[in-house]
Amino acid sequence: MDGADGGAPYYLASGNEVALFEQCHARQLAVMLKGPTGCGKTRFVEYMAWRLGRPLVTISCHDDLSASDLVGRFLIGHAGTVWQDGPLTRAVREGALCYLDEVVEARQDTVVVLHPLSDHRRILPIDKTGETVAAAAGFQLVVSYNPGYQRMLKDMKPSTRQRFVALDFAFPPPERESAIVAREGGVGHDLAHALVSLGQRLRGLHDRGLAEVPSTRLLIAAARLVAGGIPVQQACHAAIVAPLSDEPTLVGAMRDLVGLTFV
């Protein structure tokens, strides 16, 4: 959501992450954002791209993401075979911020493609064409991942991790999170505060088997439904409880907490 100050993405800083990111950009350092799902990592990158006046290329990583998906491939057309840059190559040529969301979801052989861009070389070798693309001024590599969730499945290799400056993200403190939910959800402070209180209670179920706790993003979704006229308990069930689990015991516990919060 744009803000009132010239189209800036709304972002409420919680520490010195803005200054750290600016210094990394000025000194051509790659950045890794670590934190739970929905805590504001993507919005932070959008805000920093706006603040730095750089284009932003976002890549959502997944198990089937190949090096060709990032770098590019030859395509056959009416005029013959032509090379088409992938999103990573476009970002390198344009001097954009290239953001790989949930990077460890990509195959390891794909992640290795990032190595020469994340150190002093700042180059992208394209094996299929024999070209080596030097990163344009302003290019910056940014990746994100959720350590708590992904460490159970797979993690980033140390040889890759040590190429990045790491910024830790967490859910904001209650008052700050309430301000974000009110602003982004279009509701009053009292309702936003109640939704955040619910979120904190639900996050306490992590020790009872809830794999993913409710993010600020889910609280905002519930707020938007309420702002649109949906009753608050119904909105919480649809936007918060249902996305988090199908396990009957956990769903029942979450519904009970919704009922206690919104009588």
| pLDDT higher at 203 or 208 | 203
Q: In one letter, which amino acid is 150? A: Q
For the chain, how are helix, strand and coil distributed in percent, rounded to 5? 50, 15, 35
> Is the separation of the CB atoms in 48 and 18 below 8 Å?
yes
Residue 207 pLDDT: 80
Helix (H) or strand (E) holding 58: strand 56-60
Please check the confidence at residue 125 and state whether its pLDDT lies above 80.
yes
Domain range summary for the chain, segments of one domain joined by +: 17-168, 174-261
pTM over 0.75: yes
**Residue 109 φ/ψ, nearest 5 degrees:** -70, -20
Q: Tell me which architecture the domain covering 17-168 has in CATH.
A: 3-Layer(aba) Sandwich (3.40)
Residue 6 pLDDT: 53
Buried b (16+ CB within 10 A) or exposed e, 240-253: bbeebbeeeebeeb
What are the tens digits of pLDDT across the range 137-195?
999 999 998 887 554 456 788 888 999 999 999 999 999 999 999 999 999 999 999 99
Q: How confident is the model at residue 135 (pLDDT cuts 50, 70, 90)?
A: very high
Residue 108 pLDDT: 81
Helices 189-203 and 216-227 meet at what angle, rounded to 10? 140
* Residue range 34-49: mean pLDDT, rounded: 94
Separation between Cα atoms, residue 73 and residue 67, nearest integer Å: 9
What are the tens digits of pLDDT across the range 42-90?
999 999 999 999 999 999 999 999 999 999 999 998 888 999 999 999 9
Say how many residues make up the chain. Answer: 263
Please check the confidence at residue 198 and state whether its pLDDT lies above 50.
yes
Residue 55 pLDDT: 98
* Residue range 240-256: mean pLDDT, rounded: 96
Residue 59 pLDDT: 97
Separation between Cα atoms, residue 91 and residue 122, nearest integer Å: 12
Please check the confidence at residue 32 and state whether its pLDDT lies above 50.
yes
Residue 5 pLDDT: 47
